[in-house]
Structure 1
Amino acid sequence: MSLGLTALSLTVSPWWWPPAAITLALAAVGGYDLLQRKHSVLRNYPVLGHFRYLLERLRPELQQYFIERNYDGRPFDREVRSIVYARAKGTAAEDAFGTERDVYAAGHEFLVHSIAPEPVLQTAPSVRIGGPDCTRPYDMALLNVSAMSFGSLSANAVLALNRGAALGGFAHDTGEGGISEYHLRHGGDLVWEIGTGYFGCRTEDGDFDPRQFAEKAAYEQVKCVSLKLSQGAKPGSGGLLPGVKVSAEVARARGVPQGATVASPPYHRAFTTPRELVRFLAHLRKLADGKPVGFKLCVGSRREFLALCKAMRAEGITPDFILVDGSEGGTGAAPLEFADHLGQPLTEGLLTVHNALTGTGLRDRIRIGASGKVATGVDIVKRLIQGADYTNSARAMMFAVGCIQAQRCHTNTCPVGVTTQDPRRTRALNVPNKSLRVQRFQAATVTSALKIMAAMGVTGPSGLRPHMLRRRIGPATIHASDELFERLAPGQLLDDTPPGWAEDWSAADPDRFA
């Protein structure tokens, strides 16, 4: 069109020059948008994509309309989102004005700083994952990429996350969708998640295949194996991948038919009791040649988790780690009632697991991870205080690779190429650029956590104590974490069971989940 208008202006009338100039300018902008690699929106929506950024510049509050919502439509903290984007881009996450939070509102939490801060650690500490039965322990970073499957994510998103993990020296959880070539290409450390569908290590009938498992667990990049019991966004419900997203590559990675909707069962077929579960974990560790093995769950019944602890003690088998997923965690698609009303939030779940392991004398053998809306240095510090040894982040990592929360994850039409298998949309996500953003975000967030710990007067995670986290209960009432939540002493459930735990501890049965 621009060439036609230019010809008209030269041959017919100079009055055609204004529209010709406009169309030429738009063509130039569109060409630049297609060639640039910084903004996925502009690569997929040349020219039109600029309106999004224009509205944000004119009125920052309009940014909420585009990217402030959670996947399930609930608000996502604007301050947190701004911090994530700033750190991913390598800019300062600072505000020119004071806090927008109501610090006098019930539920407001804050950390206790010290008059005498400590020097900030220059090297981030890691967490050794590996109990007494593990022969190949792994040093886990304080912040890692949480479980997100290939299929749910695009190939380029997986490549960017894994390359970012390789650059930054942290772990990348595969999610339950199996190990694809994109998880292996850049050599980032992997935590291989095995879900109820046993994708990547399943028989034709959907049972666990030990031969396939051993073959893939031997990959050099696989550092740990995580058995997924449940996830926070939809506890008690299996995963679902629409058939439109099951491409040939996705089908190959999962061992399922191409184009068919994949529904994971809500339960495992390899075990039915707590005792069988811990035996299965030992079997996985043997098949993985001594690599760390653990499980992930969203905590529901305290009694069931205590049954697991009894089974661990009875069998003399413990996982190397337990990943606690809070019910506030996100997902690309979940039944709203499951997301809103099932499962314990991360705070309660962490404390339940930490107390149960401590009270049964198992805590020193098992590391605890935390996932569920972990996005800032404050989140890391809070979760360490509540009982975690390390943290994982999914949503913030997706922001780092360009997610704008368009809420089209299940439709295969993600506008920025993060959660789609459409090659045309996926090409907009530039792997080298986004992987640097992932690495920068992780490094800046861990550094922030170390700075916060130093401001609290401690030199690292080992110095954190429950009384350092406070919560406002009412207008004139503030309690420390150890005043709000009971903390069990090592072996207390075995020696002198507290009244509040007695009924659950007595009823917990290592031979049944109930």
Structure 2
Amino acid sequence: MGDFYHDTGEGGLSEYHKKHGGDIVWELGTGYFGCRDEHGNFDPKQFADTAQSEQVKMTEIKLSQGAKPGHGGLLPGSKVTEEIARTRKVPAHEDCLSPAGHSAFSTPVELLEFAQHMRELSGGKPVGLKLCVGMPHEVMALGKAMLSTEIYPDFIVVDGAEGGTGAAPNELSDWVGMPLEDGLVMMQNMLVGTGLRKHIKLGASGKIYNGMGMAKHIALGADWCNAARAFMFSIGCVQAKRCDKGTCPTGITTQDPQRQRSLDIEIQSQRAALFHSKTLAALGEIVGSCGGVHPSELDPHQIITRIDAAQSKSIMEVHPFLPPNSLLDTPGDTAYCDWWEAASKDTFKPIKNLTDAMGTTLLAHKRGHY
């Protein structure tokens, strides 16, 4: 009805996703739900059988999410019903763990090799990554791995720390991970600075809920935007933050039949579809008011951001935007010099002491050496 694809989230591809024939992006998190063996490890055969379904258009490896990057999660056994167990390929009525990290890979190169394996198993369908950016050297390590292996994910979705779920620990939700604007610019700079941008599409997600949010992040480098919270609002979510307790007052995140009566599918499905179409219409009006005919014409120089009560600046004065291939040709002249040198294709950890390196850089800057 809404004419948009649906990302499954990491909970698995269910019979309900398939019921009405919509386009699906199948997201795989650390639990490999729907394609796992009895020990929770990735099962290639199960993955191939599902990924080759006509409705599955792309698959996405979730490294982290903005609400709780690096944390994982636990679905209480009381919520693991027979149908959820069937979808996730886990025992019913037992706690279901999403580990903090993946078991199928542990280095940047292994991640890309896993993505390539998934692409082959799915019959050549696009495979991408989703992550909330943490430390900059991790982004640079991913770039070095792509340069080394010549394996490119078809897309990367950058999730912002603004992302939310009522089941997230407050400290992680508030403080861990980069905001979307910073993470997106960093990923865009890495791809442009390494000459890899032409191989990879960029998605953006993290509290994007209107046409202006889409326009801004497309101008910063995104090819498209994802939304979760906004669609939840469109069907009645009031952010009661009871997602993990089974007591959602609007019936959206509960298995309680009485509470589920609050969710009127006939009405709320139309609201979700209308929200999508009106948001795209608003984006079109913004693009037209800027003199363009397509969102891809939007550029960073069109974004002015307020610094404080008295100052506004072009966003190009706030963030560095790298020239093509600059991380390959003149990394020392970029703002990412120390991060680039600390990155390795063989590990997500820094290979040199960043505290000392960046302290030296800052000291030299103070002395006028830069």
TM-score by length of 2: 0.92
Q: CA deviation at 1:476?
A: 3.6
- Counterpart pick for 1:316 among 150, 153, 160: 150
**Of residues 121, 132, 144 in structure 2, which corresponds to 1:287?**
121
Q: 2:38 aligns with which of 162, 180, 204?
A: 204
Distance 1:478 1:374 in 2: 22
Report the residue type matching 2:172 in the other structure. Answer: F
Q: Number of aligned residue pairs: give it.
A: 348
SS in 2 for 1:294: strand
**Structure 1: how far apart are the matches of 2:260 and 2:80?**
15
1:6 — aligned with what? none
Deviation at 1:289, TM superposition (A): 0.4
1:500 aligns with 2:332: no
Q: Does 1:390 align with 2:224?
A: yes
Aligned to 1:461: 295
Name the SS of the counterpart of 1:474 in structure 2. Answer: coil
Contact kept, 8 Å, 2:219 with 2:296, in 1: the verdict is no
The residue number in structure 1 matching 2:66 is 232
| Residues 321-361 of structure 1: CA deviation (Å, up to 9, x unaligned) | 00000001011211111111110000000001000011011
Cα distance between partner residues in 2 of 1:481 and 1:173: 30
For 1:292-307, list aligned pairs within 5 A.
292-307=126-141
Mapped to 2, the partners of 1:499 and 1:369 lie a distance apart of: 24
**Alpha-carbon offset, residue 431 of structure 1:** 1.7
* Secondary structure of 1:440 counterpart: helix
Distance in 2 between the 1:406 and 1:307 partners?
Answer: 39
| In structure 1, C-alpha distance between the alignment counterparts of 2:334 and 2:193, rounded to whole Å | 13
1:333 corresponds in structure 2 to: 167
Structure 2 contact 166–240 (Cα < 8 Å) conserved:
no
Q: Give the match for residue 271 of structure 2.
A: 437
Q: What is the distance in 1 between the residues matched to 2:313 and 2:192? A: 23
| Equivalence for 2:347 | 512
Paired residue for 2:3?
A: 169
Match of 2:361 in 1: none
Gaps of 5+ in 2: 350-370
Q: Structure 2: which amino acid aligns with 1:403?
A: C
Deviation at 1:435, TM superposition (A): 1.3
**Runs of 4+ more than 4 Å apart:** none
Q: Deviations over 1:363-385 (max 9, x none)?
A: 11111111110101111001111
Question: What code does the residue aligned with 2:30 have?
Answer: T
Distance 1:492 1:393, change over 3 A: same
**Which amino acid in 1 is paired with 2:346?**
D
The one of 251, 254, 259 aligned to 2:85: 251
Query: Is the Cα contact below 8 Å between 2:246 and 2:256 reproduced in 1?
Result: yes
CA displacement 1:223-252 (0-9 Å, x = unmatched): 010000000000010022122211100011
Q: 1:427 Cα shift?
A: 3.5
State the AA in 2 paired with 1:488. L
CA positional deviation for 1:483: 1.2
**Compared with structure 1, are the counterparts of its residues 476 and 426 closer, same or farther at alpha carbon in structure 2 (3 Å cutoff)?**
closer
Assess, with a 3 A threshold, how the Cα gap between structure 1 residues 475 and 421 changes in structure 2: closer, same or farther.
closer
1:270 maps to which of 93, 99, 104: 104
1:423 alignment partner AA: P
SS in 2 for 1:393: coil
Distance 1:410 1:475 in 2: 40
Task: State the 1:432 CA deviation.
Answer: 2.3
Write the deviation string for residues 268-318 of structure 1: whole angstroms up to 9, x where unpaired: 000011011001100000001011100100000111111111111111100
1:420 is matched with 254
Structure with larger RCO (C-alpha < 8 A, sep 6+): 1
Describe the SS at the equivalent of 1:500.
Answer: coil
Distance (whole Å) between structure 1 residues aligned to residue 59 and residue 71 of structure 2: 21
Counterpart residue identity of residue 201, structure 2: R
Q: Kindly provide the CA deviation profile for residues 34-71 of structure 1, in whole angstroms up to 9, marking residues without a partner as x.
A: xxxxxxxxxxxxxxxxxxxxxxxxxxxxxxxxxxxxxx
Q: What are the residue-to-residue correspondences of 1:116-155 with 2, within 5 Å?
A: none
Deviation at 1:429, TM superposition (A): 1.6
CA distance in 2, matches of 1:500, 1:206: 41
Shift of 1:510: 0.2
What secondary structure sits across from 1:207 in the alignment? coil
CA–CA separation in structure 1 for the residues paired with 2:261 and 2:144? 50
Query: Percent of aligned pairs with the same residue?
Result: 53
1:507–1:405 CA distance, 2 compared to 1 (3 A):
closer
Partner amino acid for 1:508? A
Per-residue CA distance 1:449-471 (angstroms, 9 max, x = gap): 11011112222212211111111
Residue in 2 aligned with 1:187?
21
Q: Output the CA distance in 2 between the equivalents of 1:325 and 1:503.
A: 24
Deviation at 1:401? 1.4
Which amino acid in the other structure matches residue 247 of structure 2? T
Q: Deviations over 1:70-90 (max 9, x none)?
A: xxxxxxxxxxxxxxxxxxxxx
Q: CA deviation at 1:436?
A: 1.1
**Letter aligned with residue 509 of structure 1:** S
- Distance in 2 (alpha carbons) for counterparts of 1:192 and 1:318: 19
What is the CA distance between 1:417 and its match in structure 2? 1.3
Question: 257-266 or 366-375: which moved more?
Answer: 257-266
Residues 121-158 of structure 1: CA distance to partner in whole angstroms, max 9, x if unpaired?
xxxxxxxxxxxxxxxxxxxxxxxxxxxxxxxxxxxxxx
Q: Deviations over 1:440-495 (max 9, x none)?
A: 00000011011011112222212211111111223442210111110011111111
Alignment match, 2:187: 353
Matched-pair contact (CA < 8 Å) for 2:35–2:42: yes
Distance 1:216 1:499 in 2: 44
CA distance in structure 2 between the partners assigned to 1:307 and 1:487 by the alignment: 19
